[in-house]
Structure 1
Amino acid sequence: MINDDIIYKTDIAVVSYSKERKLVTTVWHSKKLKFKEYQEPFLAAIEFQKKTFVTNYISDIREQNIIPPDFRKWFQTEILPKAYAAGVKRSAIIFNGNIFKKYYLNNIMNSVKKF
């Protein structure tokens, strides 16, 4: 990740790209998010993916705060279909295992099965 290109960077999240791995990585930082703050890193990644061959995606949510259901629903209905339609084949999430994040991930995993 040292040689990765930064696509998007704020105090909320850093989105980077590894050409060698055809990988986009988002690392979230602890903070209560507004909806727009949650959307922006994903939208930046999707815009980047339109111009660049990306097959892999990792999201590191260990420092991310709890995500409201309406945010997750937007991610499932808007971002997942666009990411997979544009070429993502594999995705992974790094998390610390708390019950709220497990629930969040289970819901997302059920959506991913469609692709």
Structure 2
Amino acid sequence: MELVKKQRAKNWLADMRKMGVVSPENQKWSNADWFPRAIAAGIKKMALVVPSSTLAQMSVDSIMGQVKGTDLETAYFDNV
């Protein structure tokens, strides 16, 4: 997050094509720790390149479902 603050980044690209299933513990950490810090650091928009694995996609859906209701705009893509 230091680089996000230093560069005043507003956008984040998450290439998740090779990502596997995210454990419930890591999903919880993402929602309770990572996303609040990213938003506080200034991230306004997030582009997600979705994983090829259906199970990994379900992990992403679960995580991103918790982000709804924040000011973070998200968009999903199949490739970069």
The answer to whether TM tops 0.5 is yes
Structure 2 spans left out of the alignment, 5+ residues: 71-80
Matches of 2:41 and 2:51, distance apart in 1: 29
Scaled by the length of structure 1, what TM-score is found? 0.54
Task: Specify which structure has the higher proportion of strand.
Answer: 1
Q: Would you tell me which structure has more helix in proportion to its own residues?
A: 2
2:59 maps to 104
Structure having greater relative contact order (Cα 8 Å, sep ≥ 6): 2
Unaligned runs of 5+ in 1: 1-45
Counterpart residue type for residue 7 of structure 2: T
Match of 2:3 in 1: 48
Question: Of residues 18, 33, 36 in structure 2, which corresponds to 1:63?
Answer: 18
- The equivalent position to 2:34 in structure 1, one of 75, 79, 99, is 79
TM-score scaled by structure 2? 0.74
RMSD in angstroms over aligned alpha carbons?
1.5
Query: Identity percentage over the alignment?
Result: 29
